[in-house]
Structure 1
Amino acid sequence: MSVQWTDSLVDLGHNMQISIRMGRHNSQVEGKPTLVLLHEALGTIRMWKDVPEELAEKTGCDVLVYERQGYGLSTPIELPRDDDYLIEEGEVWLPRLLNRLGLNQVILLGHSDGGSIALIGAATIPDQVCGIITEAAHIYIDHLTTAGIIEAVERYKTTNLKERLARYLGDRTDTMFRAWHETWLRERKHPMDFRPWLPAIQCPALIIQGEDDQYGVKEQVTDICSGIGANAEPLFLPDCGHVPHFEARDKLVSAVADFIKLRVID
């Protein structure tokens, strides 16, 4: 199958422009929803590498990848970032982007922060979201989350982590790294808790986590599935950490393709 990829900026109003990459199959894809990829806390379009191309091929779906505010070519952010930024992304900016692009039926695939946003988005616009897949999503901050971020801050100061991130984040590297660790580590007026959104998710859900994820306990998966109910199924990937689409890529892609074929499209 041949897929045509285009890059553009989408104006969402309120001085917000979002950078997107869209892959459309040259042959008409009858009745298939668009697969939307939501990146991690330090992600960009380029950090997905060629995963979107493989998912487009294996699923037969058109694929949308986009960069949230602050990332890549999208509108910059100002610090400090609000505690509820993930809620705003899922309830406001994701629906607005989908509507601006005319995408009426989508499958959300989110990694880490993107997974949390996907859960909120699926609860917010259930008529548009016909399937959801999360990798390493969080619905609360656990002890592994905190320890992992503290360790990453130390590596940012003492190793070449900053230089490696700068390949993708460019001159926004310091800003986005601060936006990540400061928002997650500071004291909050209200604890992060996305469990109230879960019962509103009506679509099939595949909730994935690496068995060796250094940023989240296994209860993140089981609690998400419990909150959603019978439509949700857990998947733990052995010998895999926080980034299944790289660390267990073949298993991840196969699981996503099978889930879409058997649970979403059929």
Structure 2
Amino acid sequence: MNISFQDIEFQTQRMRAKHIILHEDNRKPTLVFLHEGLGCLEMWKDFPEKLCQATGLNGFIYERIGFGQSSPLGLVPRPIDYLEREGRDILPVVLEQGGIENPLLVGHSDGGSIALIYAAFHPDKLCGVITEAAHVFVEDITIDGIVEAGKIYFKTDDLKTKLARYHGDNTDKAFRGWHDTWLTPEFRHWNMENLLANITCPLLVIQGIDDEYGSQLQVQSIVEKSTGPATPFLVPNCAHIPHFQAPAPVMQAMKDFIKKIV
């Protein structure tokens, strides 16, 4: 396994990316990992490498603008359609510069929503999508979870110190870009369900039964309203981060899904 890093340019901003190379066969899909709303390269830990080794596929990870060592985030709160902009406009540029011709997207939380948006706007450019805890509309449980996270972040140093290990100078804007945006009254009406019918590629839709940021209605909507083959996987005794909180069944489900479509 070879690891290399790359800077992706979008307009005047820079995003850090990581390649996981197992082979030189460009005909095979590449697993593209899209991080959560407060994530970055390092916060995936070794999960991408393990999934690549388990499937024999190369991997590609990048951190969006405002996270980790990428360029800082500008506007806070973000535009209400920031997820659409990421999936529709920015991700195609990232994949092109990364040399990824046949992506298989693996998205967690915000990353899962971005993966679905990409699949809706670019249905012929990918072979499949795996989502973990993706959201396609805003629920009360989501808002309540973000409010609680804000109380921890602003009233104690625990969460801020933890995030600062990964985001450095980007920490405060990274958090507020997630927290403040989702808590604006306008964002309460954000909904991408109208895009789901445009998704024709195979989907594996994963969510922890005890997810503190979303209910099983998210999975139901994705599975029922997309038009390609969609497989739900509700993980017992698991909250918002299935690949860490239930690694064995989640890894197996992803391996089985990938084997069917590759």
Return the TM-score normalized by structure 2: 0.96
- Distance apart, 1:167 and its partner CA: 1.1
- Distance apart, 1:17 and its partner CA: 1.6
Q: Secondary structure at the match of 2:189?
A: coil
Paired with 1:201 and 1:106, the residues of 2 have a C-alpha distance of: 15
Q: 1:133 aligns to what?
A: 130
Q: Secondary structure at the match of 1:19?
A: strand
- Distance apart, 1:189 and its partner CA: 7.2
Letter in 2 for 1:173: T
Among 57, 60, 76, the residue aligned to 1:61: 57
Of all paired residues, the percent bearing the same amino acid is 44
Whether the aligned pair in 2 keeps the contact of 1:109 and 1:133 (CA below 8 Å) is yes
Deviations 1:208-231 (A, max 9, x none): 000100000110000111111451
Whether the aligned pair in 1 keeps the contact of 2:201 and 2:228 (CA below 8 Å) is no
Letter in 2 for 1:241: A
Paired with 1:169 and 1:34, the residues of 2 have a C-alpha distance of: 26
Deviations 1:192-211 (A, max 9, x none): 11111111111100000001
- Distance apart, 1:28 and its partner CA: 3.6
Whether the aligned pair in 2 keeps the contact of 1:208 and 1:235 (CA below 8 Å) is yes
Whether the aligned pair in 1 keeps the contact of 2:212 and 2:240 (CA below 8 Å) is yes
Among 170, 173, 177, the residue aligned to 1:179: 177
Among 9, 14, 17, the residue aligned to 1:17: 14
1:124 aligns with 2:116: no
Q: 1:45 aligns to what?
A: 41
Deviations 1:77-131 (A, max 9, x none): 1132111110000000001111222322110010000000000001111111110
Q: 1:249 aligns to what?
A: 247
Q: After superposition, where does 1:32-181 map in structure 2 within 5 Å?
A: 32-80=28-76, 81-159=78-156, 160-181=158-179
Paired with 2:26 and 2:175, the residues of 1 have a C-alpha distance of: 41
Distance 1:148 1:192, change over 3 A: same
- Distance apart, 1:59 and its partner CA: 1.1
- Distance apart, 1:162 and its partner CA: 1.1
Whether the aligned pair in 1 keeps the contact of 2:200 and 2:227 (CA below 8 Å) is no
Paired with 1:204 and 1:157, the residues of 2 have a C-alpha distance of: 40
Q: 1:260 aligns to what?
A: 258
Paired with 1:189 and 1:121, the residues of 2 have a C-alpha distance of: 20
4+ residue runs over 3 A deviation: 27-31
Whether the aligned pair in 2 keeps the contact of 1:29 and 1:61 (CA below 8 Å) is no
Whether the aligned pair in 1 keeps the contact of 2:73 and 2:170 (CA below 8 Å) is no
- Distance apart, 1:60 and its partner CA: 0.9
What CA RMSD, in Å, does the superposition of the two structures yield over aligned residues?
1.4
